[in-house]
């Protein structure tokens, strides 16, 4: 019997009839009928009626049941129905329940596998309306829906579908469908609370729904396997709130369900408290009723492995299908127990701002608060998305005036909110003494420093520092990002405040300039100042109004000699050269007998050398930039741990012999030491040296004879204007800067630099020749010869330099294009453009600069076969007469002011289909350019434009537009400029 036009339906079934009608769909119809659910299926229509009538039935329905099967995408009817369904969903007039029958959600969403083949055909054939179909399929949630593979049989699957439909019908309001109309059922068939019409979420719930969805991806409540998931995060991030939301949503599936709170307060030994809690005091045996049933348990705030040891030992007793969620601040406590971990992220800026305003303005309209709203954003930035901090800071500021907000903001980085401090203190108190010291050192001194560097400073003698850093990361007190140690603002403030107190066994960390200034004053010593146990001093002199004259005995009188490890005198406003002298003055010298000093950084150190009693036995990092030293210290001293030395711009330094025994040195920076004329012969023993910077050492003429630095990767001699003799042995050298030196040639031994990537010879005015062994540098990617005015030829190389990408020859007198570029182009009888770009033999050259060369007259025709070349600079090549056919991927040709240029080849450049390469060909001030050449340039521009246009048209035929996407199609431009 045909359906009438005025009827309404609870469920519209969208499916591939040929595949499912006679079996699965018939069972589903029976189950829906039995459940008294009014459904629509296409058999209810007269066969001759038009397809558009089905669209009306979709509009009359409350729920669309979309059953995706392997042959679904064959049917134009199914796909057109799906497009209509998604339109209704977007309008808020329909709910959709995806059902995956022998296909995966990924295959449907991404149109791949057999499902994708049915959509596109074996040859990905074009079908009408393909773009709309792809958009509709793409909107199907990949992790939400009912999947046959998660059920034991089709009967159970059908029952679950019917149950899901009933649950959705229960939450649809009487006055219509709610606005939230995304999929209603998760991978286990449960209806998400986000699909229930609810009042606006409280501000404390901002961001929680998204977190809850992410957590639910870790747990499958229909799985027959026991799953244990950890929720991990720093204090205040919302672990407990998230676990409680999750428990509230899913606990109705279990008979035994329990939240065990604040477990960290329990003892850490192997007591039976957890067993007693889970088993109600009974023994674990076959009579333990609670473990005979599936359980859902949340263990909140676990702080020690022993607190969950009972579970780890007795997992086999827990019934399959149970779910356990554990929240903790320390990943290591649950690493052996959990199957997966969810690290709770901070709130995004929008949610964080709303949450903060809710508490700061007592949930009142904050749009009229003027400058306070700008201050809000600064507080939110500081809190870093931590909900607990946003709440406490907001409550602290609530009701205060703008002046108070400004004043508090100034103290925020160094004065922790009491309640935030109390929460963070819980984590700190559980650390070992070594972990506490490392945490405080990082918070006060070494935040954002490189991981390896910090490990060396913390403990250079063994692997303990690596373990300590790893432990702090596991406890979420630090994080490692891009090789650097980072710390949340809240933790940094807490650490700085605690580190500067007297309660630390290892000593205070002094960073407050006022306190340091008062301590270093040379006035009469009062009893409370007599001896301080200090671990580190970081004095920012930019914050001092006047200089501080230091008595030579001040450090001995004020600080315990066995504690001081770190001393830094710096200027945060002017970290390099300034006209202002150092504000820490040593008019009568200095005594400094500190045995544990590891880090000494003193900008503009005012003495000729470090004090005679300075002991570098434990020194790791020495930095004295812009100092007045003439030598580091008087005699050669043992420096077994010294790894970093920076004496840059110490323009009185003449003697480096003090470092003769720095055998483990990694980096040495002597840039700008303008009177240093030689390096010690003992440098050959620095087998760990990786980086040597001698830039601007204008008196230096050579390196020590037969210098062998096996680990050296970077050598900088830029601007060493008297440097004439380059000799070095180093098999690992990667970057060599000889620009601005007086060298006349390179030694043949350079061929041994098999790892050399960059060779910079810019402005070597005396350079006349390059060795013919240059082609032995197989790793070379960049060769810079700019400004080598006496260089007239390129060596006649025999081998290919396949990795060379940048060749700069501007300002040289080379007369023809180096044959190094042409070796790779000799493919007899073959057209290069038909070969693979990655094929062996093709040059990788991308940039070629010949500008201001007054000798070169033409370019070799083989340049057209340099497939990867995309930039050629010919500016001011005054004698250049013609340009041959150019490579196909060229993006920029600059021939500005080539005064003699008359001809260009026809075609100007080889054309290849492309979608995204913009081109800029510049022929300005080419006064002798012939008319035929101009026509050829214009012709090439037209052909290139047409090709790009065709490529864009092909692209747009399959381009899918998503309104929420910020992506746009790039507009491709070609620009030709020349004087007519």
Domain assignment present for residue 373? The answer is: yes
Range 145-165 average pLDDT: 87
For 373-420, what is each residue's pLDDT tens digit?
889 999 999 999 999 999 999 999 998 899 999 999 999 999 999 999
Q: How many residues does the chain have?
A: 980
- Separation CA 265–CA 304 (nearest Å): 10
Inform me whether the pLDDT recorded for 727 exceeds 50.
Answer: yes
Calpha distance 943→953 (Å, rounded): 15
d(CA 763, CA 532): 55
Q: Model confidence at 195, in pLDDT bands (50, 70, 90)?
A: very low
Least reliable range by pLDDT among 701-715, 742-756, 851-865, 953-967: 953-967
Respond yes or no: is residue 283 known to be catalytic.
no
pTM of the predicted model as reported, rounded to 2 decimal places: 0.74
Residue 187 pLDDT > 50: no
**Do 780 and 727 share a domain, yes or no?**
yes
Residues 691 and 776 in one domain: yes
Q: What is the mean pLDDT of residues 900-912?
A: 87
In a domain, 934, yes or no: yes
- pLDDT for 917 equals 62
Q: Confidence class of residue 197 from pLDDT cuts 50, 70 and 90?
A: very low
Q: d(Cα 924, Cα 9) in Å, to the nearest integer?
A: 72
pLDDT digits (tens, 9 = 90+) for 742-770: 999 999 999 999 999 999 999 999 999 99
**390 shares its domain with 435:** no
Calculate the CA dihedral of residues 736, 739, 741, 746 and round it to 10 degrees: 50
* Residue 405 is assigned to a structural domain of this protein: yes
11-20, 130-139, 141-150, 307-316, range with the lowest pLDDT: 141-150
Whether pLDDT at 795 is above 90: no
Q: 162 and 22 in one domain?
A: yes
- pLDDT tens for 315-336 read 777 888 999 999 999 999 999 8
Point out which residues pair with 67 in neighbouring strands: 99
Residue 191 has pLDDT above 50, yes or no: no
Q: Tally Cβ neighbours within 10 Å of residue 395.
A: 14
Average pLDDT value for residue range 346-361 = 92
Q: What is the DSSP string of 499-564?
A: HTSTT-TT-EEE--HHHHHHHH--SPPPGGGS-B-EEEEEEEGGG-SS-EE--TTHHHHHB-TTT-
Per the omega criterion (within 30 degrees of 0), is the bond before 907 cis?
yes
| pLDDT at res. 738 | 98
Query: What pLDDT was estimated at residue 959?
Result: 39
723 is a domain residue = yes
Task: Render pLDDT for 954-980 as a digit per residue (tens, 0 to 9).
Answer: 655 443 333 333 332 333 344 455 544
Same domain, 672 and 807: yes
Query: Does 195 fall in a domain?
Result: no
Distance, in Å, from the CA atom of 37 to the CA atom of 10, rounded to the nearest integer, reads 7
- Of the listed ranges 92-106, 469-483, 526-540, 699-713, the least confidently predicted one is 526-540
**Above 60 in pLDDT, residue 269?**
no
Residue 965 lies in a domain: yes
Specify the number of domains making up the chain: 7
The predicted pLDDT at position 578 comes to: 64
Q: Where a domain ends, among 579, 613, 633?
A: 633
pLDDT tens-place string over residues 6-32: 678 899 999 988 778 878 898 899 889
pLDDT at position 670: 98
Higher-pLDDT residue of 831 and 145 is 145
Share of the chain above pLDDT 90, in %: 51
pLDDT at 48 over 80: no
pLDDT, mean of residues 143-160: 83
What's the token pair of residue 56? Answer: 């009306």
What rounded mean pLDDT belongs to the chain?
83
For residue 230, the domain's CATH number is: 3.40.50.300
My answer on whether 141 and 160 are in the same domain is yes
For residue 26, the tally of other CB atoms under 10 A from its CB is 11
Higher pLDDT, 256 or 278: 256
Q: What tokens appear for 372 in the block?
A: 């306070």
DSSP for 608-668, written as a single string = SS--TT---TT--EEE-TT---SBSSSS----TT--EEE-TT-TT--B-GGGTT-TT--EE
Does pLDDT of 203 surpass 80? no
Q: Check 81, 392, 396, 781 and give the catalytic one.
A: 81
Instruction: Give mean pLDDT, residues 55-65.
Output: 90
pLDDT at 264: 78
Of 232, 241, 236, which Cα lies nearest the Cα of 422? 236
State whether 149 and 18 are in the same domain.
yes
527-531, 567-571, 687-691, 872-876: segment of lowest average pLDDT: 527-531
Per-residue model confidence as pLDDT tens digits over 71-83: 898 888 899 899 9
Regarding whether 162 and 46 lie in a shared domain, the answer is yes
pLDDT for the residue numbered 200: 32
CATH label of the domain that carries residue 743? 3.80.10.10
CATH code for the domain in which residue 453 is found: 1.10.10.10
What pLDDT does 110 receive? Answer: 77
* φ, ψ at 10 (rounded to 5°): -80, -35
* Residues of the domain holding 230: 219-263+293-343
**Same structural domain, 962 and 895:** yes
Q: Write down the pLDDT at residue 201.
A: 35
Overall average pLDDT of the 427-453 stretch: 95
> Do residue 331 and residue 364 come from a single domain?
no
Alpha helices in 172-207 (DSSP H): none
In a domain, 731, yes or no: yes
Per-residue pLDDT at 733: 97
What pLDDT does 637 receive? 92
Residue reference for tokens 């054309």: 911
DSSP letter (8 states) at residue 304 = S
Looking at the fold, whether 549 and 457 belong to one and the same domain comes out as no
Q: Are 532 and 556 in contact (CB under 8 A)?
A: no
Higher pLDDT, 180 or 717: 717
Residue 951's pLDDT is what? 65
Tell whether the model's pLDDT for residue 175 goes beyond 50: no
Are 224 and 159 contained in the same domain? Answer: no
Mean of the pLDDT values across residues 854-880? 91
Q: 227-236, 457-466, 557-566: lowest mean pLDDT where? A: 457-466
Answer for the pair 662, 632: CB distance below 8 angstroms, yes or no.
Answer: no
End-to-end CA distance of the chain: give it in Å, rounded.
80
Give the confidence band of 276 by pLDDT, cuts at 50, 70, 90.
Answer: low
pLDDT in tens, 83-111: 999 888 877 788 899 999 989 888 888 78
Structural domain includes residue 278: no
């Amino acid at each position: 019997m045909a359906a009438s036009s005025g009827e309404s339906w609870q469920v519209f079934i969208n499916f591939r009839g040929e595949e499912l009608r006679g079996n699965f769909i018939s069972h589903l119809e029976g189950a829906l009928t039995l459940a008294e659910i009014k459904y629509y299926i296409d058999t209810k229509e007269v066969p001759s009626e038009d397809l558009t009538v089905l669209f009306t039935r979709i509009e009359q329905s409350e729920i669309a049941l979309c059953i995706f099967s392997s042959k679904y995408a064959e049917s134009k009817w199914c796909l057109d129905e799906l497009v209509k369904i998604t339109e209704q969903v977007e309008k808020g007039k329909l709910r959709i329940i995806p059902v995956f029958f022998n296909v995966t959600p990924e295959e449907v969403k991404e149109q791949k596998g057999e499902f994708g083949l049915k959509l596109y055909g074996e040859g990905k054939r074009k079908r009408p309306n393909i773009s709309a179909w792809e958009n509709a399929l793409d909107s199907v949630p990949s992790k939400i829906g009912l999947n046959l593979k998660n059920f034991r049989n089709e009967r159970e699957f059908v029952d679950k579908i019917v149950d899901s439909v009933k649950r959705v019908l229960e939450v649809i309001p009487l006055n219509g469908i709610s606005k939230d109309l995304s999929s209603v059922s998760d991978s286990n068939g449960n209806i998400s609370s986000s699909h229930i019409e609810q009042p606006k979420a409280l501000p404390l719930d901002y961001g929680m729904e998204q977190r809850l969805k992410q957590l639910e991806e870790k747990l499958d409540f229909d799985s027959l396997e026991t799953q244990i998931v950890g929720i991990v995060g720093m204090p205040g991030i919302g672990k407990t709130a998230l676990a409680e939301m999750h428990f509230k949503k899913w606990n109705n599936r279990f008979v035994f369900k329990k939240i065990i709170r604040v477990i960290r307060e329990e003892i850490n030994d192997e007591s039976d408290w957890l067993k007693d809690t889970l088993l109600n005091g009974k023994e674990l045996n076959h009579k333990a009723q609670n473990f005979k049933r599936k359980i859902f348990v949340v263990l909140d705030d676990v702080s020690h492995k022993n607190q969950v040891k009972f579970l780890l030992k007795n997992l086999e007793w827990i019934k399959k299908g149970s779910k356990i969620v554990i929240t903790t601040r320390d990943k290591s406590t649950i690493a052996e127990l959990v199957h997966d971990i969810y690290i709770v992220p901070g709130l995004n800026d929008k949610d964080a701002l709303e949450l903060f305003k809710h508490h700061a303005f007592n949930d009142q309209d904050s749009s009229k608060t003027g400058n306070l709203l700008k201050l809000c954003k600064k507080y939110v930035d500081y809190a870093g998305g931590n909900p607990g901090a946003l709440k406490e800071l907001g409550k602290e500021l609530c009701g205060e005036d703008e002046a108070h907000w400004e004043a508090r903001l100034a103290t925020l980085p160094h004065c922790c909110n009491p309640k935030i401090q109390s929460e963070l203190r819980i984590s700190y108190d559980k650390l070992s003494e070594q972990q506490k010291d490392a945490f405080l050192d990082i918070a006060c001194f070494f935040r954002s420093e490189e991981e390896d560097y910090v490990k060396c400073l913390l403990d250079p003698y063994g692997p303990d520092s690596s373990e300590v850093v790893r432990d702090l990361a596991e406890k979420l007190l630090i994080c490692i990002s891009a090789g650097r140690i980072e710390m949340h603002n809240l933790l940094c403030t807490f650490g700085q405040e605690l580190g500067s107190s007297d309660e630390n066994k290892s000593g205070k960390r002094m960073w407050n300039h006022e306190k340091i200034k008062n301590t270093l004053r040379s006035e009469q010593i009062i009893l409370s100042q007599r001896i301080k146990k200090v671990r580190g001093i970081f004095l920012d002199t930019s914050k001092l109004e006047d200089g501080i004259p230091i008595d030579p005995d001040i450090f001995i009188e004020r600080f315990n000699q066995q504690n001081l490890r770190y001393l830094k005198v710096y200027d945060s406003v002017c970290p390099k050269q300034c006209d202002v002298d150092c504000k820490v003055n040593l008019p009568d010298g200095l005594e400094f007998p500190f045995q544990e000093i590891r880090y000494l950084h003193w900008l503009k150190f005012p003495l000729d050398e470090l004090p005679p009693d300075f002991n570098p036995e434990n020194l790791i990092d020495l930095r004295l930039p812009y100092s007045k030293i003439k030598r580091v210290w008087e005699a050669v001293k043992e420096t077994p741990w010294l790894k970093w030395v920076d004496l840059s711009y110490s323009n009185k330094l003449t003697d480096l012999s003090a470092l003769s025994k720095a055998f483990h040195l990694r980096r040495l920076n002597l840039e700008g030491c303008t009177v240093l004329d030689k390096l010690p012969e003992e440098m050959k023993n620095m087998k760990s040296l990786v980086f040597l910077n001698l830039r601007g050492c204008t008196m230096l003429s050579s390196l020590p004879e037969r210098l062998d630095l096996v680990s050296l990767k970077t050598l900088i001699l830029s601007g060493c204007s008297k440097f004439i003799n380059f000799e070095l042995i180093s098999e690992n050298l990667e970057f060599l800067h000889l620009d601005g030196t007086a060298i006349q040639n390179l030694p043949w031994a350079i061929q041994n630099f098999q790892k050399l990537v960059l060779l910079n010879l810019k402005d070597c005015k005396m350079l006349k020749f390059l060795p013919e062994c240059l082609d032995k540098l197989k790793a070379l990617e960049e060769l810079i010869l700019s400004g080598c005015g006496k260089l007239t030829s390129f060596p006649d190389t025999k081998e290919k330099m396949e990795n060379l990408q940048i060749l700069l020859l501007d300002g040289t007198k080379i007369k023809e294009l180096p044959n190094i570029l042409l070796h790779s182009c000799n493919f007899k009888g073959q057209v290069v453009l038909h070969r693979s770009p990655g094929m062996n033999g093709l040059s990788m050259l991308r940039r070629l600069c010949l500008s201001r060369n007054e000798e070169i007259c033409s370019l070799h025709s083989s340049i057209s076969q340099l497939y990867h070349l995309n930039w050629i600079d010919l500016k001011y090549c005054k004698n250049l007469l013609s340009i041959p056919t150019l490579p196909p991927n060229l993006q920029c040709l600059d021939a500005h002011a080539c005064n003699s240029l008359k001809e260009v080849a026809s075609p100007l450049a080889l054309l290849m289909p492309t979608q995204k390469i913009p081109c800029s060909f510049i022929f300005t001030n080419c006064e002798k350019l012939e008319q035929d050449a101009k026509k050829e340039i214009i012709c090439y521009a037209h052909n290139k434009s047409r090709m790009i246009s065709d490529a864009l048209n092909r692209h747009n035929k399959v381009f899918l537009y998503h309104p929420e996407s910020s992506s746009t199609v790039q507009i491709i431009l070609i620009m030709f400029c020349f004087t007519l």
